[in-house]
Chain A
């Protein structure tokens, strides 16, 4: 665990530290950018963009070698990948606008075909210049091992740049993601905002290519926003939290990968993000599964308690085991089912409230009342004392509990 700790504390060497910081910046940028894509319900477009970078990588390598270069210069390869990713995006838009094929089919077609073309170009590269290992396969799954200082700088600078762009464009992108017509009415050029968003996605993809790999970079764009959505109901909040989750995944994942250099970096980062997602799904306070379960149980308890007390008030026998357990535990009935003094008092109150509600519904013919779980909510939390007095006046004198 010690090498992992070293990497986490950025003390596993200068390059490793740079890569780890770069991965964190990239993660933040990807999480924030992906949020807009997720809110616009177009998350999987990024999958096609990512796969569409492969032919560009191959072509850029071939072009650079043809011009007498080394072919492995990262900025050159990234420029090529950006160009082909852009071509892929245009192809998706062209197919969905011009033909009756739907966006999902267009995404899948572009993804598969561009990747196939990329594989063809990779085999061409492999046969160029006898025995030269271009290492382009690293772009599939990402690798930090053997990363140069300049590569680390490229990633860190690119991540910071993408983050700044996402910050600058956050308002128009949020608006367009939620309500295109409203955004258009406010004077934004929706199509250009769309293009800017896609350019940002493409930028993150291209920067993450070396680190995470083109097959899994899409996870950094999708998983953090989806996880962040569990923690807040506000779009701005999702952006921040998604950025934080993405940054943490990148940081921890890259550190773990620095400690275990023979494992590909991309899958580790993605699994860290997936772990955070699983925790969010289960334990987020409002939208999480555990919270929803607790809410459900609380509601169930209130319904059972009330039904049980009403039964006591009417003198009916309770047979439902959960209700019996609940009332016994609260000391409202004895184990043999006979109500205690406290139980009779509570039953009388519930029965009285029930009658009050009936009158209240007559008095205030108000649709609003119907939505308030009439009966489950104590009546005094909704009406003022004066109103309740008025209700009681119409109700007549108190009736004894027990149905007599």
Chain B
């Protein structure tokens, strides 16, 4: 646990934790609103958003990417609504039509664009590359006090930390609005809460979390981070505030455990190469969810019969 750990593992673990927490927070509300699959749709359209942002600006700077992805998420939501209303198509199918089309367009654009000079290719976009976000300038724990070394931290770390902090602040500030609109939209409107705006804001926040996390873990594993920790947390408690805390704990646990298992697990088993950390984080979050389904204290449905809801 010396210099090598700080160099190789510290930043990916931190990025993993921030990404998992940033996704889990909006995920709690998406699940309760039965919009879990909006997370699915958003994470797929992040790719075209980023590609278009890259084509327009020519760089992979953070801000255009975030704007592009948020714009793509917004476009996807509008298109889904349009297909649903104009074509009278049920929401799931409308979603499926829109996000697969946008995703296909994004992949083709990306394949046709010369992105050799920048770090942007389909496979990383899908699977992420957490391991590459290392801090080579560090010489040990003491580097945390060294401004020169700190300046060389991977910039993804700062970005995802900011997004994660923003998610925490937004969740805290809009807590009352979020809870009321989630559980009783009509009541919320009667109180004068802009329920539609809150819903749209939640989707955009999820898109921002998705794009920030996407750099580290890829666009599909993000779905696991949106859904698994909050879903497991939902089986642990009846109170929303505790559910959110549980989900944050599960998210952080998945990130740490997943990274460690991916980086060191194969070595313990005698293999010589590490496996994908992002994939392992998703797997661990799935194991946590499975355990919660088996043993979570509030796993069963209460009240209505088995087939209700």
A binding-site residues for B, Cβ under 8 Å: 38, 41-44, 46-47, 51, 94-95, 97-102, 104-105, 107-109, 111-124, 127, 137, 140-141, 215-216, 218-219, 222-223, 225-226, 229-230, 262-264, 266-268, 270-271, 274, 277, 281, 287, 289, 292
Give me 19 A-to-B residue pairs in the complex whose CB atoms sit less than 8 angstroms apart, sorted by A's number.
A43-B96, A99-B299, A100-B234, A100-B300, A101-B235, A102-B309, A108-B36, A111-B220, A113-B282, A115-B224, A122-B276, A140-B126, A216-B104, A223-B97, A223-B100, A225-B93, A229-B87, A271-B108, A287-B87
Report the minimum CB–CB distance from B215 to chain A (whole Å): 16
Instruction: Tell me the dominant secondary structure on chain B's binding face.
Output: helix
- From B6-14, B136-144, B150-158, B285-293, the one touching the partner chain is B285-293
Residues of A contacting B234 in the complex (Cβ-Cβ under 8 angstroms): 100-101, 105
B231 close to A (CB within 8 Å): yes
B195 close to A (CB within 8 Å): no
Q: How far is the CA of A219 from the CA of B289 in the complex (A)?
A: 28
Report the minimum CB–CB distance from B224 to chain A (whole Å): 3
Asked whether A263 lies within 8 Å of B37 as measured between CB atoms, the reply is: no
Residues of B contacting A116 in the complex (Cβ-Cβ under 8 angstroms): 220-221, 224, 278-283, 285-286
Q: How far is the CA of A124 from the CA of B273 in the complex (A)?
A: 8
Q: Using A101-B231, A113-B286, A271-B108 as known contacts, say yes or no to A215 and B103 having CB atoms under 8 A apart.
A: yes
Report the minimum CB–CB distance from A14 to chain B (whole Å): 26
Q: Which 8 A-B pairs have the closest CB atoms?
A: A116-B282, A112-B224, A113-B286, A119-B279, A219-B100, A112-B223, A267-B104, A222-B96
Residues of B contacting A262 in the complex (Cβ-Cβ under 8 angstroms): 111
B26 close to A (CB within 8 Å): no
Asked whether B101 lies within 8 Å of A120 as measured between CB atoms, the reply is: no
Q: How far is the CA of A100 from the CA of B293 in the complex (A)?
A: 9
Asked whether B83 lies within 8 Å of A281 as measured between CB atoms, the reply is: yes
Residues of A contacting B298 in the complex (Cβ-Cβ under 8 angstroms): 100
Report the minimum CB–CB distance from B9 to chain A (whole Å): 17
- Select which of A102, A118, A222 is within 8 A of B100 by beta carbon: A222
Q: Using A99-B235, A109-B286, A127-B272 as known contacts, say yes or no to A270 and B228 having CB atoms under 8 A apart.
A: no
B55 close to A (CB within 8 Å): no
Residues of A contacting B119 in the complex (Cβ-Cβ under 8 angstroms): none
Q: How far is the CA of A76 from the CA of B279 in the complex (A)?
A: 23
Residues of A contacting B126 in the complex (Cβ-Cβ under 8 angstroms): 140, 215
Asked whether A112 lies within 8 Å of B104 as measured between CB atoms, the reply is: no
Report the minimum CB–CB distance from B86 to chain A (whole Å): 5
Q: Using A112-B223, A262-B111 as known contacts, say yes or no to A123 and B276 having CB atoms under 8 A apart.
A: yes
Q: How far is the CA of A101 from the CA of B296 in the complex (A)?
A: 12
Q: How far is the CA of A111 from the CA of B43 in the complex (A)?
A: 12
Asked whether A270 lies within 8 Å of B87 as measured between CB atoms, the reply is: no
B221 — nearest CB in chain A belongs to which residue?
A: A116
Asked whether B87 lies within 8 Å of A226 as measured between CB atoms, the reply is: yes
Q: How far is the CA of A120 from the CA of B259 in the complex (A)?
A: 11
B216 close to A (CB within 8 Å): no
Interface centre among A41, A111, A113, A216, by most chain B C-beta atoms within 10 angstroms, is A113
- Select which of B36, B96, B108 is within 8 A of A263 by beta carbon: B108
A272 — nearest CB in chain B belongs to which residue?
A: B104
Report the minimum CB–CB distance from A375 to chain B (whole Å): 28
Q: How far is the CA of A88 from the CA of B223 in the complex (A)?
A: 15
B63 close to A (CB within 8 Å): no
- Select which of A42, A46, A112, A263 is within 8 A of B221 by beta carbon: A112
Asked whether A51 lies within 8 Å of B289 as measured between CB atoms, the reply is: no
Asked whether A105 lies within 8 Å of B276 as measured between CB atoms, the reply is: no
B296 — nearest CB in chain A belongs to which residue?
A: A99
Asked whether B300 lies within 8 Å of A105 as measured between CB atoms, the reply is: no
Q: Using A47-B40, A101-B235, A107-B37 as known contacts, say yes or no to A119 and B92 having CB atoms under 8 A apart.
A: no
Residues of B contacting A140 in the complex (Cβ-Cβ under 8 angstroms): 122-123, 126
